[in-house]
Amino acid sequence: MPPSLVALPLGTISAVSDQWWFCLKHMTVEPEKGCPNKDRLGPYDSQDAASHALQTAAERNKKWKEQDKEWDD
């Protein structure tokens, strides 16, 4: 996704990403400029999607585990 422009308090303009991450260290959603990527899941296209990162990861892991069982049979 291309960055969007936002006005900052001092009237300056800066490029900001529309992507969000879930920080595993702080257990919170954060924007692009947050904790190091080694501590985060993402990126996600919205704050809401990032807020469900742990649930999404658990669902994917369960699905992959089931697929592994089918592969092993």
Helical ranges in 1-73 per DSSP H:
47-51, 53-72
Taking only the tens place, the pLDDT of each residue in 5-23 is 444 556 544 446 789 999 9
The answer to whether 58 and 72 have CB atoms below 8 angstroms apart is no
What residue numbers bound the domain in which 17 lies?
Answer: 4-72
What's the pLDDT at 11?
Answer: 54
Instruction: Count the domains in the chain.
Output: 1
What amino acid is encoded at 6 in this protein?
A: V
Neighbours of 7 (CB within 10 A): 9
Taking only the tens place, the pLDDT of each residue in 18-71 is 899 999 999 999 999 999 999 999 999 999 999 999 999 999 999 999 998 888
**Full-model pTM:** 0.69
What's the pLDDT at 13?
Answer: 44
Question: Does 2 score more than 70 pLDDT?
Answer: no
